[in-house]
Amino acid sequence: MGRFSRLWPFGPPSAAGAEGVDQGSSALARRVLMVCTGNICRSPTAEAVLRAKLEQAGLGDRVAVASAGTTGWHEGEAPDPRARQHALLRGYDLSALRARALRPEDYERHDLILAMDEGHLAHLQAHAPAGSRARLQPLLAYARRFAGTAEVPDPYYGPPQGFEQVLDLVEDACEGLVACLAAELPAGSAG
C-alpha cells in the first residue's frame, strides 16, 4: 500500500460537482477525471471500469468519476462502437456516456485527473491553471500487473485486439486505484 499512499495525498474534496453523481451527498469524498484525446475510446472505458470497480468495493457513493478529452472533436458523441462492444463483453456499459472536452473548471472540480498517455499528461500540465488543486497523473501509475507500462495505447486506428488491450490495462490500473481509495475511505455511505 505504500506505493498507493504516495499517489493519493489529498486534502478535503472540493464542493463543486462531477457529472453523474448526486452532488448533494455528504458522503462524496473524491472526484476522479479520466482523460484521453477525443473522449470516445480510452477515457470513457476507464470511467466505466472505475465506476464498476468502485461499486464492487462499496465505494460507488463516495467517489465521482467522469471523463473528458483534450480536444472537443467528438463533443456530444457516444463512445466508439468498438469500445462499447468490447467493454460490454466484459460487463461495462458505455452507452450513456457522451464525449466532452476538458474544461478549466475540471482542475478545481476534480481531486485526481488521470491521463491515458504521456501526451495527455503533458497537455494537462500545460493547461493547468495556477494554483490548481487537481493532482495530475498517468492512470497506469496505479497498475499492478502491468506495472512499468507507461501508456494506455490508442486503439482507434488499430485492430480489435487494441480495445482488449485497453481493457486489460485499464482494469488493472483501476483495481490499483480502488485499492488505494479503499485504504483511505470507509466503505458505504457516511450518511
Q: Which residues are catalytic?
A: 36, 42, 154
8 Å CB contact between 21 and 149 = no
Q: Please enumerate in sequence order all residues whose Cβ is within 8 A of that of 176, keeping only pairs 6 or more positions apart, or say none.
A: 4, 142, 143, 144
Q: What is the distance between the alpha carbons of residues 66 and 191, in angstroms, rounded to a whole number?
A: 23
Query: By three-state DSSP, how is residue 67 classified?
Result: strand
Q: Is 12 left (phi over 0), alpha (psi -120 to 50) or beta?
A: beta
Residue 62 sits at φ, ψ, to 5 deg, of -110, -20
